[in-house]
Amino acid sequence: MDDTLLLVHTEADGSLAKIAREALGAARSLGGSLTIGLVGGDAQAAAGSLGGCGAARFLGASGEMFRQPRYATDAAAAEALCRASGAQLILAPATSRWARVLPGVALRLGGRVDTHATRVFPSEGAPAIARWYYRQRMEAVLLRPQRPWIVLLEAGCHPAWTGAPASAALENVPVDLPEGAIRTTVNGLRAPQAEEQTIRPEADLLFVAGAGWTKKQSDGATHADDAERLILEFLRRTQASLGGSKSLVDLSGEGQAVLRCMTHLNQVGQTGATPRHPKGLSTCCHGEEPHVVGWRFIGERRAVNLDPNCGWARGKADVLYIADAFEVLRRINALLGEKTQATRA
Amino acid sequence: MQMVGERLGILDQFQGVDELRVEPDGSLEILERVEGGKHQVSVCAGPPALLGWATGHLPEPRNNPQVGMANMRGILPALQRAKAAAVGGGGVRFVEVSLPRQQRETRIVKDLSPEQIAREILAWISGD
């Protein structure tokens, strides 16, 4: 098996994201020699958190200039770590930060890169990867003879490594940055124009809202405000992530009642995101493939719908509740509220 | 795009860009999509820069079945007749291609009250 380098970067608070630990879990499953390459403001602290993972070496590009994601510094750091490790296989979590730079790094190294991998495993004595094509419609397993081979591994595809921290001897790798290379300043993050944060990639539950929430209800009127209140309360209480069907997102362009908490960034499905969560609950969703592709990587799926033949549910969900989602969510929120009060008491 | 940027020697690259604003001093304020539906705000001193554009403030275009039908009639047959050309991406070996399992056994629950459904869903969410 090839020697493997796992590239990870620290988050704004200096920690490592769950996706980084998932990639570590995948890298360890390959066998062979493993090196960890860390990029960030304080790589030593992050190395300690992975100290017990059994890696042969810990390499770091550490310092203020690597604290924030920026192409010029991240590409130089990744290139330096790859060269210092001499690894033939380079794994990295598919964060926006690595996705921005690693294809360029592959060119610098004269190697190859594959993005959106969902599995990496030994095959015929060499690493193989699986990834999806045609908007998550078919899965292929592929091998490459070229080295180094950089693979970006998607979130939620492998159990995260959960070992204990231990001391790790970090080797600082010098990074060669041309003079005047830093022309970009990162000024932080901006949340979308929604009342609150509703996209939580690491949530255990994906809550998908469909257009049915904005349609006329049994009393002949629409209740989009109620729907929004119920959904936001549910999200606050469960810390679930919010997804929207394309039809619901499209409504905003038709002048119909819409959920203000829903932006097109929440959209799941063929033309939206295909998030990975252990569980998913769809409510008031309608439509067939390709929109149901948004469900593809959800582990356990349940649906609440008044239509027993809904394409999101029948054959796609494990359990379909034929019921009014307004009523069900109202009751769930009430039960969650009681549970919170009982815990406080 | 990153590889093209590298070939051109461009070290200021941004992907998933939803907004670009040119400031009076010629610098560029750029909003890139990052995790959690947020945007990273960066200021680049000025060109040259490479920007991979997302959809800006617009959602994906509305569904348009007519375009799909036109593609099926016109473009796909032409693609099927096209001769394969080497584009320099050789070496990859596809070992297996498969379609995902489409069907799940769906348990349909019709006779429970909203209260009972809420309790069942809550127990499921909590892993009880």
Say what the ipTM of the complex is: 0.84
Buried-exposed string A214-243: b where 16+ CB fall within 10 A, e elsewhere:
bbebeeeeebbeebbebbbbbbeebebbbb
From the list A94, A80, A120, A78, the residue with the least C-alpha distance to A20 is A94
Buried-exposed string B54-77: b where 16+ CB fall within 10 A, e elsewhere:
beeeebeeebeeeeeeeeeeeeee
Contact A201 B36 (CB under 8 A): yes
Q: What percent of chain A has pLDDT over 90?
A: 65
User: Cα–Cα distance between A249 and B55 in angstroms, integer?
Assistant: 14
The pLDDT value recorded for residue A258 is: 74
In this predicted structure, the answer to whether residue A9 has a pLDDT above a threshold of 90 is yes
The pLDDT value recorded for residue B102 is: 65
Helix (H, G, I), strand (E, B) or coil at B71: helix
Which comes out higher in pLDDT, residue A200 or A192?
A200
The pLDDT value recorded for residue B32 is: 96
Q: What is the Rg, in whole angstroms, of the alpha carbon atoms belonging to chain B?
A: 24
Please tell me the least confidently modeled range out of A183-187, B66-70, B95-99.
Answer: B66-70
From the list A118, A201, A155, the residue with the least C-alpha distance to A21 is A155
Phi, psi torsion values for A328, nearest 5 degrees: -65, -45
**Two tokens, residue A324:** 């009014």
Q: What is the DSSP letter of A72?
A: H
* DSSP-derived secondary structure for A227-285: HHHHHHHHHHHH--EEEE-HHHHHHGGGT----TT--GGGBBSTTSB---EEEEEEES-
How many residues are listed for chain B in this entry?
128
Q: Could you check whether A4-172 and A205-344 share the same CATH topology?
A: yes
The pLDDT value recorded for residue A291 is: 56
Contact A246 B60 (CB under 8 A): yes
Spell out which residues of chain A touch residue B46, defining contact as CB-CB under 8 Å: 183
Q: What value does the mean pLDDT take over residues A292-302?
A: 80
Spell out which residues of chain B touch residue A320, defining contact as CB-CB under 8 Å: 106-109
In this predicted structure, the answer to whether residue A87 has a pLDDT above a threshold of 90 is yes
Helix axes A325-344, A224-238, angle to 10 degrees: 40
**Touching B: A residues 318-337, CB under 8 Å:** 318-324, 327-332, 334-336
Single-letter code of the amino acid located at B125: I
- Residue of A132, A184, A246, A293 for testing the chain B interface, max B β-carbons within 10 Å: A184
In this predicted structure, the answer to whether residue A193 has a pLDDT above a threshold of 90 is no
Q: What value does the mean pLDDT take over residues A174-203?
A: 86
Sheet holding B13-22, edge to edge: A184-190, B39-44, B28-33, B13-22, B50-53
Q: Scanning the structure block, which residue is given the tokens 């409510």? A: A283
Cβ A43 vs Cβ A61: under 8 Å: yes
The pLDDT value recorded for residue A143 is: 95
* DSSP-derived secondary structure for A29-65: HT-S-EEEEEEETTHHHHHHHTGGG--SEEEEEESGG
Helix (H, G, I), strand (E, B) or coil at A107: helix
Contact B125 A313 (CB under 8 A): no
Contact A187 B41 (CB under 8 A): yes
Sheet holding A112-123, edge to edge: A170-172, A57-62, A34-40, A4-9, A89-93, A149-153, A112-123, A126-133, A138-143, B93-98
A306 touching B (Cβ < 8 Å): no
Q: In angstroms, how far is the first alpha carbon of chain B from the final one? A: 47
The pLDDT value recorded for residue B105 is: 87
In this predicted structure, the answer to whether residue A111 has a pLDDT above a threshold of 90 is yes
B25 touching A (Cβ < 8 Å): no
A265-294 pLDDT, tens digit each: 888 877 778 888 999 999 987 765 545 666
* Residues 6+ away with beta carbon under 8 Å from B83: none
A18-53 pLDDT, tens digit each: 999 999 999 999 988 999 999 999 999 999 999 999
Single-letter code of the amino acid located at A272: G
Which of A14-23, A242-251, B93-102 is the most confident on average? Answer: A14-23
Spell out which residues of chain B touch residue A316, defining contact as CB-CB under 8 Å: 104, 106
The pLDDT value recorded for residue A228 is: 92
Which comes out higher in pLDDT, residue A246 or A207?
A207
Please tell me the least confidently modeled range out of A168-172, A250-254, B89-93, B109-113.
Answer: A250-254
**Touching B: A residues 7-66, CB under 8 Å:** none
Q: Scanning the structure block, which residue is given the tokens 């950089």? A: A150
Tell me the pLDDT band of A56, cut-offs 50, 70 and 90: very high
Tell me the pLDDT band of A257, cut-offs 50, 70 and 90: low
In this predicted structure, the answer to whether residue A15 has a pLDDT above a threshold of 70 is yes
Cβ A319 vs Cβ A337: under 8 Å: no
Q: How many CA atoms lie within 13 A of A7 on its CB side?
A: 35
What mean pLDDT value characterizes chain B? 89
Single-letter code of the amino acid located at A3: D
The pLDDT value recorded for residue A256 is: 66
**Domain boundaries defined on chain A:** 4-172, 205-344
In this predicted structure, the answer to whether residue A299 has a pLDDT above a threshold of 80 is yes
Q: What is the DSSP letter of B99?
A: P
Nearest CB to B45: which of A99, A178, A183? A183
The pLDDT value recorded for residue A212 is: 87
User: Cα–Cα distance between A282 and A304 in angstroms, integer?
Assistant: 6
Cβ A326 vs Cβ A230: under 8 Å: yes
Cβ A109 vs Cβ A148: under 8 Å: yes
- Going by CATH, does the domain composed of A205-344 fall within 3.40.50.1220? yes
Architecture of domain A4-172 in this structure:
3-Layer(aba) Sandwich (3.40)
Cβ A293 vs Cβ A136: under 8 Å: yes
B49-80 pLDDT, tens digit each: 999 999 777 766 676 778 878 888 888 888 88
- Residue of B19, B38, B112 for testing the chain A interface, max A β-carbons within 10 Å: B38
Please tell me the least confidently modeled range out of A33-37, A58-62, A218-222.
Answer: A218-222
B2-15 pLDDT, tens digit each: 999 999 999 999 99
Q: Scanning the structure block, which residue is given the tokens 């929109």? A: A291
Nearest CB to B38: which of A189, A281, A328? A189
